[in-house]
Amino acid sequence: MTDTQNEEIKYGEPLSTFIQWKGTDLCMDWFCEDGHQNHWDGFFAYEIECETCSKKYYPNPSVMLNKEKPDFMKDED
The helix (run of H) or strand (run of E) holding residue 6 is helix 3-8
pLDDT at residue 29, as a whole number: 93
76 in a structural domain: no
Phi, psi angles (nearest 5°) of residue 54: 65, 15
Residues of the domain holding 47: 3-66
What does the pLDDT look like over 21-48, one tens digit per residue? 776 788 889 999 999 999 988 887 889 9
What does the pLDDT look like over 48-70, one tens digit per residue? 999 999 999 998 877 778 888 88
Q: What angle do CA 56, 57, 60 make, to 5 degrees?
A: 165
74 in a structural domain: no
pLDDT at residue 52, as a whole number: 96
Measured between alpha carbons, how far is 66 from 54 in angstroms, rounded to an integer? Answer: 32
pLDDT at residue 77, as a whole number: 61
Contact 31, 54 (CB under 8 A): no
The domain tally of the chain equals 1
75 in a structural domain: no
Contact 19, 63 (CB under 8 A): yes
* pTM exceeds cut of 0.95: no
